Every structure is written in C-alpha cells, then in structure tokens.
Structure 1
Amino acid sequence: MIVMNLSIKIFIALILSVVVGLIAGEPALPFINWWIAPIGTIFINLIKMMIVPVVFFSLVVGMTSLGDTKKLGRIGLKTIVLYLFTTAIAIVIGFGIAGLIHPGVGLQIASDAAVKVKEAPSIMQVFVAMVPANPIEAMAKAQILPVIIFSLFVGVGILQVGGERAELLVKFFDAAAEVSYKIIGIVMSFAPYGVFALLLPVVAKNGPKVLLPLMSVIACVAVGCAIHAVAVYSTLAKLWGGHTPMQFFRGMSEQMLIAFTTCSSAASLPVNMKNCQEKLGVSREVSSFVLPLGATINMDGTALYMGVCTLFIANVFGVDLTMGQMMMVILTGTLASIGTAGVPGAGLIMLAMVLQAVGLPIEGLALVAGIDRVLDMFRTCLNITGDGAVTIVMDQEEKKHAAA
C-alpha cells in the first residue's frame, strides 16, 4: 500500500481542480457553487479559527522561553532588519525580470478603467493601530499585529512576575500551544479537499482566461518568485541552517501549497509554525516570535509583484521610469510592507501607494486587478517561504549567541 504525504495529496488536489474545472466549465458553476465551494469555505474557516489561538499562545510561550527582555529586543531588531532587506531585494528582482521581459509593451488601457482600492493607512496610523484599546476585540477581528503586541506584553508581564505564580501561567500557555498544534494537524488532514473546493469554482468560472490574459505579467511574477526563493531563501537556509535547497523546500512544501491556494499569509501561519519546528528543526521560542511577525510585515512576494507591475503599468502608458523613480518604488514598497496585512488583495493597496509615489496613472490598477488573484497565489507563497527562511537564520543566530 502506497502512503502519500500530505504535500503530494494537496498538489494532486490542485491539479485535479484545474482539470475538472476546465472540463466542467461555466455550465457547472451553479452546482459547484452550491455543493462544492462551501467545503472550501469551511476549510478556510477551520484554518482561520486557529490563527489567533496559535499566535497568542505561541508568542507568550516564545516570550517566556526567551527568559530575557534584552534577548527579545535583540531578536526583534535583527528580524525586522532582515525582513526589510529581503523585501528590498525582491523589488530589485522584480524590476530585473520585468526589464528583460518588458510586460505591457504594445498593450493599451482605457483611461476611465479605474478600480477602487481602499486607501492605504499612514505610517502613524499603522503605529496607533498596533496597540489594541481592546485586545479581546482585536482577537475577535483577527487583527494580528495588535494581538502580537498584546501577547508581547503578556509575556513580559509573566517574566516580570517570576516565581511559582509565573510558572503556573507558563505551563498553561505551553499546554494551550500544544493543543493548538494538535488541532492544526487535524485541520490539515482535510487540506486536499479544501484546496480542491477552493480552486474549482475559480477555474470553472474563468476557464483558460484565468491564465491566458496578460501572461507576460504572470510569467514575470512567477519566474521572479522562483528566483527569489531559490537564490535568496534557500541560500539563507543553507548558509545558516545547513539545509540543502531540497530539504528546505520539502520542509516548506505544505505551507507553500496552502499559501498558494488561500492567498493568505495569516491563514498559512499555523501550518508554518508547526512545520518549521517539526521538519526544519527550528526552536519553538524563536519560531513563536519570528513567524507571526513575518506574517505581518514580511511581504517579499508583494514587493516583487510591485516591481513587475510598476514597470508593466509604465510600459502600458508609455512612461520611462527614471532611476530616481525606481529607487522611490524600492523605498516606498519596503516601508509599505510593514503596514500591509497578510490577507488576500492587500497587494493592490501597496501598489496604489507606489503608483502615487512615482506619479504613474492610478488607472493602471484596473489591468492588474483583473489578474490579481493569480498573482496573489505566487506572491503569498513567496511571502511565507521567506518567513521560514528568516526563522532558520534567527534560530541559528540565537544558538551561536547562546554558545558564545
């Protein structure tokens, strides 16, 4: 009897959804939307159900495991710097790929084809929103960044209390985190069915159109994400963690497929935390801090997508970007990644900010919005892969510091 691992099952489900969707086509949409699509919604809800518990319990455990607020500050600063550095590299790779393929050359767009995008928050609004006035409300709304801040305060409070009373809380949160991981394992056993049900209606509705239009843009983002994952992330995992590229991507395969399907860094977070510890050997204290932070501020895939789409829109409107404008895209995109939530569609908010910063027509969003769902799959997959790679680096750095 052949036993397939979960990653293979998820990949088979993804392929089957494309094949069945193309064969069934739009006439089958009513049946698919009524009977099959809700299964995908249930799967997403099951994952979302565990996001806040995993972030809250794991971060508190990670904080108390560190045992030192100075250690927390050291890890936090290094993590943020490394995340922003890889984000800047991602934008440069996006520019490079788009510069070679020249997406958008020869295309035209109607000037009135605008798309509505929610206004991006200012940097001060982001800082204010980070601190929850009501942490229970933040948890209910799954606002990850405020939950992270509250978790850090709880962890620091436990460290400050110390003694037997603190030990009781540490044991509680540790047990709660373990229970959360077990529930994630149960949820993930349903992943192949959830993936099939999520993608089938998309393919059936759009048919070949889901891939054919603006293929050059899709190709740029896909190739750029692959280059960044191999050249940057697997290199980090090799140099710091001693993982070969095959070992690294095998350990990341499940969460990469979940991210590719759900287009949500937050939805992939519980699986990422579980597998980084079990398959890549990262300590719980480091992964419990670095991964939730990465799901919030690490947007390398989105940054790469911005580099490609900015050049694409500039080509469509016949605008030659100067070196200064390209540097502005890199700076704006890197900083904007901090304030963009890890949810589907957040990339359009960042792209709108970048277009405004360099003076490109905002109408260009209409073209990108048409294929944004496809692009979102690639960029979210890259985002969570970067979270795993940076976690490996930080884990090894802490082990070296402890040995020194």
Structure 2
Amino acid sequence: MKVRQFLQHNILLISTIIAVVLGVVAGMMCRSLKPSSDTIHLVQFPGEIFLRMLKMLMLPLIVASIITGLGNVKGSSAGRMGVLSMVYYASTSVAATVVGLALVLTIKPGAYSGTSTTDIQHNNAMASAMDIILDLIRNIVPDNLVDATVKHSRTETVAHEFQKNVNSSSGGDYRTSNNISQLVTARKTVMVDGANVIGVITYSIVFGVILNQLRRRGDVVAQFFTSINIITFKMITLVMWYSPLGILFLITGQILSTSDLTDTGQTLVVYIATEMAGLAVHSLVVLPVLYTILTRKNPYVIYLKAMQALITALATSSSAATLPVTMQCVEQRMKTDTRISRFILPVGATVNMDGTAVYAAIAPMFIAQYNGISLTFGDVIIISLTAVLSSVGSAGVPGAGFAMLLLVLKAIGLPERGISFLVAVDWLMDRFRTMVNVASDCLVVGVVSHYTKLPPRDTSETQSEPPREEQEMLEIDLV
C-alpha cells in the first residue's frame, strides 16, 4: 500500500529520471550510426517543443506570481523578504566566486597546455567593467516595458574606419595628398534579442507593492492577476506531464550532436574536473553549511523535495525555463507560503546565479593559464568583481554563461585563444551550473521563510486569494 502511494505521488519524478537514463543510453547507442544533421534535428524537435512551452509560460508566471505574492504581504514583510533575499544572493555569489578562484589557482587546469608566457594587454579593462554595471542598471529600468519582454540593452564596441586626407610637401612648390586609414572605436548601446527579465521583475515588484497599499480599491486588479496565476499553474501541470518525453529527446539529441571529445587532451579533462569540483563544493558544502547555520535545518531535505526541478534544470539548461517546475516543487512539496515563493523565486531565477559565478571565476583564469599569462592581484580582483556582477546580470537561459565569459575576458584584456576548449564542453557544464542555480534558489526560499513570519491572510481586506476549494483543487493537480 505504501509503495503504491509512493508511486502515485512521485510518478512524474520517476518518469523524468527514467527519461534521463533512456536519453543518455539512446544517445550513446545511436552515435555509432552517425546520423545526419537532419536526423539529429528531428530527434531534438520534441525537446525543443518542451523548452518552448516552458519559456512561453515564464513571463506570465513571473508577472502574476510577483504581483499576487506582494499583493498579499502586509506591513513591512515585503521589505524584510527583499533585504534577506538580496543579502543572501550577494553572499552566495561572492562565496561561489571565491570557491572557483581557490580551485582554479590550486589545480591550474590551463597550465597543462605547456604554452609559453605572453604579455597581457590591459586595454579597455575598466571601461568593460563599467559597461557591465551600466547595462545592468539600464535593464533594471527599461524605457519600454513591452519591448522588455523580448529585448534587453547591451553595450557594444563598434569599430569605424575612415580615410583621412593628409597633405605633405615633396620639395619646391609641389604638395602631394595622401589618404591614411584610421580605425576609431566607439561604444553603442543596442537592443539585442532576449527578454529583459530584470526589468519585468522590477516593474512587477513596484506594481505589487503599490497594489498592496490600495487595499480594497485594488481588489479587482488583484483578483485578475490571481486568476492569471492559477491558469498559468494549470498550464504548467499539462506541460509537466509532457516533460519526460521532452527531456528524453533533449538529452538524446544533445549527445548525438556533440563532437568526439576523446582526443581533446588532458587540458580539457582537468578543466572539467576543476569546474565540476567547484560546483560540487559550492552546492554540496558551502550552501548546505550556510543554510544549516542560518536555519538549523537539514538542507539536503530541500534538495530531495526539489529533485524534479533539478532534473528539469539539467535537461533544459535554463533556470528561467525551469522556474515553473521550481515553483511547483517549492509550494507543493516544501509547503512554502506562496506569498514568499512567488516573490523570491522569479527574482532568484534571474539574479541568483551561483553556478555562473563559479564558471565566471574559473574560465578566465583557465584562459590566462592556457596562454601562459601571469595575472596580478589586481587582475584577480577585477575578475572576481566582474564575475559577480555579470552573473547577476546574465539571463537565465542556455548559453548566457558563455556570453558573460566574453565580457569578463574583455574586462582584463585576456585573449580568446583556448576558448574553444570551453565551447566544446559548455553544453554539458552549463547544465550542471543551472542545477546549482536552481538548488540555491530553493535554499534561499527556505532561509527567507525561516526569518519571515507572515501574518495570516486577512480575507476581509482583500479578495486576491482564490476561493479555498479552487486552491485545493489546484494543489491536487500539481502534486
């Protein structure tokens, strides 16, 4: 009877684990058949549909969950949650950067390449770091909210070549005219594809706080967003029953499309071991110890209850796309107050990037070691600051970590030689980084819940909560 009950409550989790195993086995077995690019594309298609479903629900879930969460928080609780979460995010990001730097300086994975020492170029170091900070601020305050749902701001350096006419004397009264080409660089802020999630979150937070202050006058609006939230969660339920199939084809297609890495040498193996060690130390030691100190509770229980979200993060390589699943696990398995989870998780999926911070510390140091470059203490400090800032501003989507790495390399003038090693394994390492990000999001919810005692919901003041029977029906659907 207990086994049957366990299977009923964990059928989706079990199916997802089986899908991961089958995806790895099928991918390894089919590699020997050397499928064409068209075949691989067709294999990946069901997984692509699953990823598109999750991304489709991401923005409405973020907006509705933050507004309804803050709309039901009374008094100074919203401010307490915000301060606690931001302090935690900053602390764990710094800790992740320190862990990454400690391991990469100790193991020195790039030193196995045996390259000779070269001179480092420091041009544009401070300017690039400044661009990262300014872009982060620009995206926090978008000039067009509708545009922010599909694009975000980024500063790019544009090179312009122009001809300069120079007159020179050739003796006597004769003068010759020469055209000299000059290359001039200029910074330009452009809009690039990719939702400005930070800007949307900022607007939703301000909207939710003001809605809270309206009390009864905001009941209609609060009920509207509550209904959107319920509908979105029911749509998530439908997507989750498709998730095992989508995950199966995602993993199979990725393995089939990966080039042979057996001849990449010792350098790549040591790099993978270094980053995996950094992610493991941070997620299995640093974060649990911090959580235990702050709450006096077992952090690994949180990991077990969030297993569905962690597996989805491994498959999708996107903390933003995993957000619907993370919210489901936190609210239904961890039994967290929805007013806390619906505020903390959307913010965490964007700004809490511990795995990316580990990567941002290790990868630039690896490039420096690979090129035989000796970095000064000031260079290491710049890498650390840039890693933390860029990890906060990076989008929670696949490939965002690699784009962030280019910014860090530019911040200290490192060459891009050796970056092909990182590209070769980024598809794999990015998935483990995303798992660390999601695990940290779940733990911060536990920390904030421990220190935030919310008052009971006052149904006489607001109708923003769904009827009790409707909420119970929603919970049954999401188990």
TM-score (norm 2): 0.75
CA deviation after TM superposition for structure 1 residue 242, in Å:
5.3
1-10 or 226-235: which moved more? Answer: 1-10
> Which residue is 1:257 aligned to?
311
Kindly indicate whether residue 360 of structure 2 is the aligned counterpart of residue 306 of structure 1. Answer: yes
Kindly indicate whether residue 163 of structure 2 is the aligned counterpart of residue 149 of structure 1. Answer: no
Structure with greater helix percent: 1
Map 1:5-404; keep pairs closer than 5 Å. Answer: 5-25=11-31, 27-30=34-37, 32-68=39-75, 70-107=76-113, 121-139=131-149, 142-163=195-216, 165-206=217-258, 209=261, 214-241=268-295, 243-399=297-453
Q: Is residue 354–residue 440 contact of structure 2 (8 Å, CA) maintained in 1?
A: yes
SS of equivalent residue, structure 2 residue 18: helix
Alpha-carbon deviations, 1:205-251, whole Å to 9, x = none?
A: 32652897612212222222121111122234444455424311111
Amino acid paired to 1:44:
L
SS of equivalent residue, structure 1 residue 209: coil
TM-score (norm 1): 0.88
SS of equivalent residue, structure 1 residue 249: helix
Query: 1:48/1:14 Cα in 2 relative to 1: closer, same or farther (>3 Å)?
Result: same
Q: Is residue 103–residue 278 contact of structure 2 (8 Å, CA) maintained in 1?
A: yes
Query: 1:286/1:176 Cα in 2 relative to 1: closer, same or farther (>3 Å)?
Result: same
CA distance in 1, matches of 2:388, 2:426: 20
Q: Is residue 62–residue 286 contact of structure 1 (8 Å, CA) maintained in 2?
A: yes
> Which residue is 1:115 aligned to?
none
Query: 1:290/1:21 Cα in 2 relative to 1: closer, same or farther (>3 Å)?
Result: same
CA deviation after TM superposition for structure 1 residue 6, in Å:
2.6
CA deviation after TM superposition for structure 1 residue 266, in Å:
0.6
Query: 1:246/1:153 Cα in 2 relative to 1: closer, same or farther (>3 Å)?
Result: closer
CA deviation after TM superposition for structure 1 residue 393, in Å:
0.8
Identify unmatched segments of 5+ residues in structure 2: 119-127, 152-194, 457-479
CA distance in 1, matches of 2:42, 2:411: 45
Q: Is residue 240–residue 392 contact of structure 1 (8 Å, CA) maintained in 2?
A: no
Q: Is residue 132–residue 138 contact of structure 1 (8 Å, CA) maintained in 2?
A: yes
Amino acid paired to 1:204:
L
Q: Is residue 80–residue 452 contact of structure 2 (8 Å, CA) maintained in 1?
A: no
The alignment-based identity, stated in percent, is 31
CA deviation after TM superposition for structure 1 residue 198, in Å:
0.9
CA deviation after TM superposition for structure 1 residue 79, in Å:
1.6
Alpha-carbon deviations, 1:181-218, whole Å to 9, x = none?
A: 22212211111111111121221132652897612212
How many pairs does the alignment contain? 393
Query: 1:8/1:32 Cα in 2 relative to 1: closer, same or farther (>3 Å)?
Result: farther
Query: 1:146/1:199 Cα in 2 relative to 1: closer, same or farther (>3 Å)?
Result: same
Amino acid paired to 2:147:
E
Q: Is residue 218–residue 374 contact of structure 1 (8 Å, CA) maintained in 2?
A: no
Structure with greater strand percent: 2
CA deviation after TM superposition for structure 1 residue 324, in Å:
3.2
193-202 or 101-110: which moved more? Answer: 101-110
Amino acid paired to 2:390:
A
Q: Is residue 139–residue 196 contact of structure 2 (8 Å, CA) maintained in 1?
A: no
Identify unmatched segments of 5+ residues in structure 1: 112-118
SS of equivalent residue, structure 1 residue 106: helix
CA distance in 2, matches of 1:133, 1:354: 26
SS of equivalent residue, structure 1 residue 234: helix
